[in-house]
Amino acid sequence: MKQEQQWSSKIGFILAAAGSAIGLGAIWKFPYVMATSGGGAFFLIFLLFTIFIGLPLLLAELIIGRSTGKDAIRAYKTIAPTGYWHLLGYLGTATSFIIFSFYSVIGGWILLYFGRSLTGSLLHHNLVFSDLFKEITANPLAVTSAQLLFILITIYVVAKGVSTGIEKASQFMMPALFILFLVLVVRSLTLEGASEGVRYFLMPDFNKLTKDAVIYAMGQSFFCLSIGVSVMVTYSSYLDKRETLTKSSISIVSLNLLTTILAGFAIFPAVFSFGMEPTAGPGLLFVVLPSIFEQMAFGSVFLVIFMALFLFATLSSAFSLLEIIVAVIVKGDASKRKKYSWIVGFCVFLVGIPCSLSFGPMSDMTLFGKTFFDLADYLASYILLPIGVFLISIFVGYRFPRARLVEELCKESAWWRKGTVYYVMLLRYIIPIVVIIVFLNIFGVL
Ligand code: PFF
Ligand code: NA
């Protein structure tokens, strides 16, 4: 058996993990929801969830992965040989599969838009952008083949291996993503009337902070950090025993928060400067932004930059979604990686087709009033993810041997000898209770 690779450097691991986190959540959904749900007030709530639930849970996943060095299913089995805890690994794998099946749809759209922005055909046509968006996303052949292409790129990278595939790609894509973002933020903030957009994005408005917004902030803080799925367990299982986990988790969370802010600063000043309507729904990025770039000097260049950035963000998240499934199947045998990357990727594509067609031929086929796409998104983001977070919190809080936890954490700072008590309290009581409260709210029980 050929052993799986490890990350070749700590920074490589952080970029890959931050790559998993930073994605559609931070740059597609978040800025829009934040702006319409209370601006700075919403961000505050999001920050609280991220710091008191997201960060500790991310750390918990890193501890599980690194201390066992195993894939998601075997990691739980190693720590708890008896009982049913390893089902958590199956839950994560299934959740990942579902997320990948709808995530790749958007990935496909981005590829389509990226291609069009390169050839210039995105800006030069005689349709309104909203119609163009509808036309593109409703075309069954275009969307499914673009989705397939997106999945194929993901397979290609994952099949290459952990350090030679995922790490190498992330080491190029993530710094590029930040540089491209900075270019856009500078461009956007220097436009005339930019300050109005900044105000719209940041101005705290506690009246808009509804119950739904709070629920959303929680779901979003989990989705944005890729926690509750055990992809972080998988990624940290390839980490050297000496690396420090607390610092890594803080770096990953900080990079993710930074991106969220950058996204807001790139989008809203431009939106206001060109007198656009920011409340354009999720189509914001595919409809509003192209029409802004159309009016901007060198707009076609900025549009390419924007789409490339988007592509990097979605791809780096897709790697982790495929990796957890492949890791669970190959069980540390690197010689099987290639074959199963292809097989799993193709299965995701088959399941993802109905999600792709949800905006065209299958838009009328609904279950509980939701299309396949919405259903997959809802099931994963609002049900499976919170359940995963809840159980992982319980698992590390109660089942993970305390001595081992202290040992793992004390590697970096002796503070943990005392501090672990608080950490465990957070995992045992605070996180599960908050998740339950929000969960009951989703189903209207409270
Ligand atoms: N964190 C990614 C995003 O915000 O787009 C999505 C994601 C990736 C969620 C991987 C969960 C996951 F396991
Ligand atoms: Na990403």
Q: Does residue 25 have its Cβ closer than 6 Å to ligand 1?
A: yes
The pLDDT confidence band at residue 280, using thresholds 50, 70 and 90, is low
pLDDT value of position 279 = 59
List Cα–Cα distances, 408 to 86, 108, 195, 234, 429, in angstroms. Answer: 21, 41, 46, 17, 21
Spatial distance between the Cα atoms of 446 and 440, rounded to a whole number of angstroms: 6
pLDDT-based confidence at 209, cuts 50/70/90? confident
Q: How confident is the model at residue 26 (pLDDT cuts 50, 70, 90)?
A: confident
**How large is the ipTM?**
0.99
Q: Considering the chain, what is the average pLDDT of its residues?
A: 91
- The mean-pLDDT minimum among 145-154, 253-262, 279-288, 430-439 falls in 279-288
Ligand 1 pocket, 409 CB below 6 A? no
Amino acid at 363: S
- Out of 61, 235, 320, 389, mutate this one to test ligand 1's pocket (max ligand atoms within 8 Å of CB): namely 320
Please tell me what DSSP assigns to residue 206.
G
* CB of 317 sitting under 6 A from ligand 1: yes
Q: Relative to the CA of 385, which ligand 1 atom is closest? A: 11
For residue 96, give the ligand 1 atom closest to its CA.
13
Residue 173 CA: distances (Å) to CA of 78, 169, 308, 312, 407:
34, 6, 10, 6, 34
How many angstroms separate the alpha carbon of residue 371 from the centre of ligand 1? 21
Does 282 score more than 70 pLDDT?
no
Q: Name the residue ranges covered by the structural domains of the chain.
A: 10-442
CB atoms within 10 A of CB 269: 26
Cα–Cα distance, 394 to 208 (Å, whole number) = 33
Which pair of tokens denotes residue 354?
Answer: 């109905």
**Counting Cβ atoms within 10 Å, is residue 264 exposed (0-12), middle (13-18) or buried (19+)?**
buried
Pick the closest to residue 18 from 184, 259, 242, 241 (CA basis): 259
Pick the atom of ligand 1 nearest to 26's CA. Answer: 4
Residue from 28, 26, 35 nearest 196 by CA = 35
pLDDT tens by residue, 62-120: 999 999 999 999 999 999 999 999 999 999 999 999 999 999 999 999 999 999 999 88
- Bridge partners of 3, per DSSP, are 333
Across 409-425, average pLDDT = 88
pLDDT single digits (tens) 4-24: 899 999 999 999 999 999 999
Q: Which CATH architecture has domain 10-442?
A: Up-down Bundle (1.20)
Which residue's alpha carbon is nearest to atom 10 within ligand 1?
A: 226
Q: Which two structure tokens, joined as six digits, stand for 283?
A: 């189509």
pTM above 0.90, yes or no: yes
pLDDT in tens, 29-69: 887 788 778 888 898 899 999 999 999 999 999 999 999 99
d(CA 63, CA 80): 14
